[in-house]
Amino acid sequence: MTMKQAFRKTLALGALALAVSASPLLAQESVATLRSGTPLAENASPPPIAPVKNTDLRQVRNYPEQPPLIPHKIDGYQIDLNANQCLTCHSRTAVEISQAPMVSITHFMSRDNQFLASVTPRRYFCNQCHVPQGVTKDLVENGFVDIDQVLEYVSGQEGN
Amino acid sequence: MFGFLRRTWGVIKRPSVHYSLGALTMGGFLMGIVFWGGFNTALEVTNTEAFCTSCHEMSDNVFEELKPTIHYSNRSGVRATCPDCHVPHEWTNKIARKIQASKEVWGKLFGTINTREKFLEHRLRLAQNEWSRLEANDSLECRNCHSSESMDITRQSPRASEAHERFLFTGEKTCINCHKGIAHELPNLGEAALINGH
């Protein structure tokens, strides 16, 4: 090993050591997390549980494919192998009595596009997609605009 | 056998030789207090949650399921205990239910539901027993606390007030028809059965 080679190696190792020691600091400054500076070994006191909108009024979908929000409380609803309490009102046979919207027919479709007699197992767990809306502030700033606003913007640009 | 009965009847019929009428009536009166008091105390003791959950069949299955529900933990801290819902409060019906419960003692002795698996196997039947009991008495145990007279439906969510107006106040349905599985988990009964109320 020549003198020059040894010097290079030392330099490289030094740079690596610096990068490794500095990286947690860098990460802490640049990455926004929901922990907001709480040390890893500690638990922050959690925010209070937000109340849920219980208006029974259907809410707008931000995009057509959005699973509709649940406009009521679902505390303690049982959805398991034995029973699905959502379906006590939203199943095909229940809506006459409950006057609730029926589960969409797309939810009866197996993954081979075959319609089954009732909700398919892959759509059985309602709250994998459908959730109530909490009355709470956004966790992060959100600049989402829906397609109508985008089209309006585009046509505005074209008009100019 | 017949002779034994005749001799017993003779003893009962013959006037007392050694004891005064006062001692006999007072003795009878005191023993009456002791037996009746004891009976009522036993009745009260067997009508507590501590008694119900002293068996693992109850404390490991149904009592555990009750704990996260609103009938055990809620904002105001008022809660229902086992007998509030499962034993009639009025005396005659309470005694009738207690006599029925001797079947449950039999079940305990012979371990009908002494494992989780056995319990799950029987739970549909057990749940249906309670549902049909509450259907038959117009959900009396619910109404001991939730009276429809005191129910202010303007304080309820729109769907709740609408449903109560349509079904509860008209008497078309009773509490348990819609409110199944609110204090314990539902057994597997299929979608249709749940809606039709069976």
Q: Tokens for B14?
A: 């013959």
Instruction: Look at residue A13 and tell me if it is in a domain.
Output: no
User: Alpha-carbon distance A37 to A26, whole Å?
Assistant: 13
What pLDDT score was predicted for residue B196?
Answer: 47
Q: Which residue of A has its CA nearest to B197?
A: A88
Q: In Å, what is the CA distance from B180 to each residue of A56, A94, A97, B102, B193?
A: 21, 15, 16, 26, 12
Instruction: Look at residue A127 and tell me if it is in a domain.
Output: yes
Instruction: Look at residue A75 and tell me if it is in a domain.
Output: yes
Specify the residue for token string 């490991």: B60
Q: Which residues contact A52 (CB under 8 A, 6 or more apart)?
A: A72, A73, A74, A132, A133, A134, A135
* pLDDT exceeds cutoff 70 at B168: yes
Instruction: Look at residue A19 and tell me if it is in a domain.
Output: no
Average pLDDT over residues A26-55: 77
What pLDDT score was predicted for residue A2?
Answer: 55
CA B119 from chain centre, in angstroms, equals: 19
User: Alpha-carbon distance B97 to A77, whole Å?
Assistant: 30
Which CATH number covers residue A70? 1.10.1130.10
| ipTM (interface predicted TM) | 0.75
Q: In Å, what is the CA distance from B154 to each residue of A89, B74, B142, B158, B168?
A: 22, 21, 20, 8, 15
Best mutation target among B191, B196, B198 (most A Cβ atoms within 10 Å) is: B191
Least confident of A79-83, A138-142, B69-73: A138-142
Residues 150-169 of chain B whose Cβ lies under 8 A from any Cβ of chain A: 157-159, 162-163
* pLDDT exceeds cutoff 70 at B177: yes
Q: Which residues contact B129 (CB under 8 A, 6 or more apart)?
A: none
- The per-residue pLDDT for range B110-119, each reduced to its tens digit, is 999 999 999 9
Domain count, chain A: 1
Identify the band that residue A89 occupies on the pLDDT scale cut at 50, 70 and 90.
very high
Q: Pick from B72, B68, B175: which is nearest to B131 by CA?
A: B175
Residue A72 contacts residue A133 (beta carbons within 8 Å): no
Instruction: Look at residue A34 and tell me if it is in a domain.
Output: no
* pLDDT exceeds cutoff 60 at A139: yes
Nearest to B69 among A76, A80, A97 (CB): A76
List CB contacts (< 8 A) between B194 and chain A. Answer: 83, 87-88
Collapse the DSSP code of A79 into the 3-class scheme (helix H, G, I; strand E, B; otherwise coil) and give the result: strand
Instruction: Look at residue A4 and tell me if it is in a domain.
Output: no
Q: Tokens for B35?
A: 């037996």
What pLDDT score was predicted for residue A81?
Answer: 87
What pLDDT score was predicted for residue A12?
Answer: 59
- The per-residue pLDDT for range B141-159, each reduced to its tens digit, is 999 999 989 999 999 999 9
Instruction: Look at residue A8 and tell me if it is in a domain.
Output: no
For residue A68, the enclosing domain spans 52-137+144-151
- Chain A contact present for B136, CB below 8 A: no
Q: Are B195 and A54 in contact (CB < 8 Å)?
A: no
Instruction: Look at residue A96 and tell me if it is in a domain.
Output: yes
